[in-house]
Amino acid sequence: MTLISEINASYRTPKLEMRRQIEDGIREEQTLFFALLFGLLSFLSLLPEIAKRAYIMNDSLSALAAAQFIASVFMMPLLMYGIAALSHIILAKFGGQGDYVGTRRALFWAAVVTSPIILASSVLSIYFPVVKISLAILTTFIFIWQWTSNLKELEFNNV
């Protein structure tokens, strides 16, 4: 399956898609690719807002974009690694049977699946600023739905 078809499948049946990934074998390099892909896509989603801020405040667009690129592509995946480890430790206390690599995959895959919504809401919020908060809430709910579905399949499927 292509990445786009896997993302579409995750919107229909997230647990089934995570089960397929578990059965195919979760590899760390693929998980890292998803983390970096999400970082890059989140950076791209922030570019219109960065350009708007640079224009309004008369700042350097390249400086703002470079700082955001470093934060999105390098720092955010590191933070997400920590969040995934913490979630695995917490779920292990409640009987979770997964591992650290799988928990990272659950988080990073949920982020990648949410990326198209993040990109669309970024563009929509530029043209329709009144819906910015509503889109942020919708995006957050979709991410949490994907992440919890993935974690449930990974950690508690055998219970």
DSSP assignment of 74-118: IIHHHHHHHHHHHHHHHHHHTT----HHHHHHHHHHHHHHHHHHH
Task: Flag whether pLDDT at 157 surpasses 90.
Answer: no
Place of tokens 């390099």: 29
Chain-centroid distance, C-alpha 128 = 24
Model pLDDT, residue 159 = 45
- Would you give the DSSP letter of residue 131? G
For 72-90, what is the mean pLDDT? Answer: 95
Cα distance between residue 71 and residue 47, in whole Å? 13
Task: Flag whether pLDDT at 101 surpasses 80.
Answer: yes
